[in-house]
Amino acid sequence: MSFDCISVEETKRLLENDDVTVIDIRDINSFSKGHINNAIHIDDININNFLSEKDKNETIIIYCYHGISSKSAANFFSQNGFKNVFSMNDGYAGWI
């Protein structure tokens, strides 16, 4: 595994101290109803732009609904050259 799973508490600490990009992979309707501050919504439509434009050394934290799908997404980002990738356990349900 080329990414780490972190808790909601660890995520909050990273957001306080580091330059972190937070990625929400839930559907756009769920994202529109609520998301972590400054999170960006990534889906099939904008993934290629993100991959080509984002600094691969930046820390990224990925979340979904319950922390399951974000693991696959974290693996995908790691395989595409990102060095500091985290999947947030418990997803947005754990955040709220």
Task: Report pLDDT digits (tens) over 18-39.
Answer: 789 999 999 999 999 999 999 9
Helix (H) or strand (E) holding 22, with range, is strand 20-24
Cα separation, 36 vs 20, whole angstroms: 12
d(CA 82, CA 38): 20
Model pLDDT, residue 1? 57
The count of residues in the chain is 96
Please, what CATH class does the domain formed by 4-95 belong to?
Answer: alpha beta
Sign of the CA dihedral with 64 first, then 67, 69, and 70 last: positive
Q: What is the mean pLDDT of the segment spanning 80-90?
A: 97
Catalytic residues: 64
Name the average pLDDT for the chain.
Answer: 96
